[in-house]
Amino acid sequence: MSTDIVNKQKTPTFKLLAPGVVWMILFLVAPIMMIVYVSFWTQTTFSINSTLTLESWRNFFASDAYVGALWTTVRLWLIVLGMTFLIGYPAALYVGLLVKSKTLSTVLLVLCVIPFWTSFLIRVLAWRPMLGKEGAVNIVLQKMGLIDSPIEVLLFSELSVIIGMTQIYVVFMVGPIAFMLGRIDRNIIEAARDLGAGFGRIFWKIIFPLSLPGVVVGAIFVSVMVLGEFATSGALSGRKVNLLGNIIVTQVGSLKWAMASVVGVILTVLLGIVVAGFLRIVDLKREL
C-alpha cells in the first residue's frame, strides 16, 4: 500500500478524533493539571501565591481530621456500594429478567427514576422528617410495639448518611444491571433448566456472569457519585460526618485554594484507582 493511500486513510480518522481530543484537553486534562499545580502553591492565612511548596500536602497528611475524613469517605463508599448492590440487584433481576412483559418492565424502570423528577436537595432533606426522633420511622416502630423510646441514632449520624445515599443512588445500580439482564437470551436459561439445573445453579453459572458488565457500570456510577459527595452528609449528619467533599467545600469557602486542591487531587486519584479497578473485572468495550 502506497504512502499516499495510508495518509489519505489517516486524515479522516484524525479529523473524527480531533473534536473529542480537544474537548478532553480543555475540560478534563487542563483542569486537572491546574488543580495539581495550585495544590503546590504557598498558602497563608489571608493570601496565596504561586511559589511552589509541599506545605499543603504535609498539612493534609499530618492532620488527623483530614486523614480521618479520607478513611471515612472510603468506609462510607464501601458500605453504600455494598448496600446499593444488595438492594439494587434483586430489583434489577425482577425488572430485567423475571418480568416477561417489555411494557411492564419499562414502566417499572420509569417508576425507579420518578424520584429524580424532584430536586436532589429535596430528596435529601425529605429524610429528616422520616428519621428524626419524632419522625415517621420512630412513630411506626413505637405504634407496632417494637421500640419503647425513639431511636436517636437514625438522624444526625453516619447511619442517616448511609440510608440517604443508598436511597438516592440505588437506581444507578438498578438501571445498568436491568439492562444487561434484559439482553440475556432466555433460550439459554430454558436449555439449562431442561438439563436439570436449579435456579441457584442457573443464577451463578449463567445469569450473574452475564450481568457482570451491568454490575461494573452501576458500581462505577455509584462510586463516582458517593466519593464526591458532600451535600447528603452535611444535611443528614449535622456536620458530624466529614467527607473529602465537605473539606473541599469548607476550604473553598475559606479561600484556602491550595488545601482544597490537595484534597481534590487525592479524591481524583482515589476515583481513578477505583474506576480502573472495576474496569479490570470485565472488558466493557467487548461486553457492551
What's the confidence (pLDDT) of residue 3?
Answer: 58
Residue 7 has pLDDT above 80, yes or no: no
What's the confidence (pLDDT) of residue 133?
Answer: 84
The average confidence (pLDDT) of the chain is 89
How many whole angstroms separate alpha carbon 213 and alpha carbon 186? Answer: 18
pLDDT confidence band for 48 (50 / 70 / 90): confident
Residue 120 has pLDDT above 80, yes or no: yes
- Using alpha carbons, select from 90, 287, 113, 84 the residue that is nearest to residue 184: 287
Residue 1 has pLDDT above 60, yes or no: no
What's the confidence (pLDDT) of residue 45?
Answer: 77
**CATH architecture observed for domain 65-286:** Orthogonal Bundle (1.10)
pLDDT confidence band for 288 (50 / 70 / 90): low
pLDDT digits (tens, 9 = 90+) for 170-196: 999 999 999 999 888 889 999 999 998
What's the confidence (pLDDT) of residue 202?
Answer: 93
Cβ neighbours of 206 (radius 10 Å) = 17
What's the confidence (pLDDT) of residue 152?
Answer: 86
What's the confidence (pLDDT) of residue 71?
Answer: 96
pLDDT confidence band for 10 (50 / 70 / 90): low
- pTM of model > 0.85: yes
Q: What angle do CA 60, 61, 62 make, to 5 degrees?
A: 90
Residue 33 has pLDDT above 90, yes or no: yes
Residue 204 has pLDDT above 70, yes or no: yes
> Average pLDDT of 233-256?
90
How many whole angstroms separate alpha carbon 226 and alpha carbon 169? Answer: 8
Helix 244-253 × helix 64-93 angle, to 10° = 130
In one letter, which amino acid is 132? G
- Using alpha carbons, select from 223, 232, 231, 235 the residue that is nearest to residue 267: 223
> Average pLDDT of 211-240?
92
- Using alpha carbons, select from 226, 247, 221, 269 the residue that is nearest to residue 74: 226
What's the confidence (pLDDT) of residue 114?
Answer: 85
pLDDT confidence band for 149 (50 / 70 / 90): confident
What's the confidence (pLDDT) of residue 102?
Answer: 82
> Average pLDDT of 214-219?
94
**Range of lowest pLDDT (60-69, 141-150, 223-232):** 141-150
**DSSP strand pairing (42-43 vs 48-49):** antiparallel
> Average pLDDT of 233-252?
90
Q: Which three cell numbers stand for residue 122?
A: 429535596
